Amino acid sequence: MMTTPAVLFVCLGNICRSPLAEAAFRDAAARAGVDVTADSAGTADYHIGEQPDPRSIATAKRYGIDISHYRGRQLAMDDFDRFDWIVGMDRSNMRDIERLRPANSRAKVAMLMDLVPGREGAEVADPWYGGEDNFIYTWEDVSRGAEALVAMLR
């Protein structure tokens, strides 16, 4: 019997990229008929308990997904036991994840775009300082990453 894969998406503040990645992953998994557990977290403690950025909420809504109930949280040591995959959005996130990662962790750690053929090494750009277009580009990137990860989990 296969267990339900558990995936944690990680960015800096857990209000822009990682909530969108979580939403895109849940959506891709549901469309593929793959049962998953998903969550998101930030490497920093800037937005604990807060809703995603209003622009992230609006972007997800544009694709028919409500993330307004998501709440920011910080990456924790026990996440390395609770999740099969911990997926960062950029190199800075990856350094922070690796710094916190226990030596005996069995969780797979990856940068999201490394899972997308032809996009290896690319980062999901932080849309925080940009406008609506930046959030759409972020959605497109995290959606590609989510689709690739779901395909790997099938």
DSSP state of 74: B
- Burial of residue 117, with CB atoms counted within 10 A of its CB: 0-12 exposed, 13-18 middle, 19 or more buried: exposed
Selecting among 53, 126, 141, 144, the annotated active-site residue is: 126
Q: Is 11 a catalytic residue?
A: yes
Q: Among 35, 80, 52, 79, which Cα is nearest to 138's?
A: 52
Q: Among all chains, which residue has been given the structure tokens 């990456």?
A: 75
What the block records as the tokens of 147 is 């689709």
* DSSP string covering 76-108: -TTHHHH-SEEEESSHHHHHHHHHH--TT---E
Selecting among 11, 16, 141, 144, the annotated active-site residue is: 11
Selecting among 17, 26, 73, 144, the annotated active-site residue is: 17
Q: What amino acid positions are annotated as catalytic residues? A: 11, 17, 126
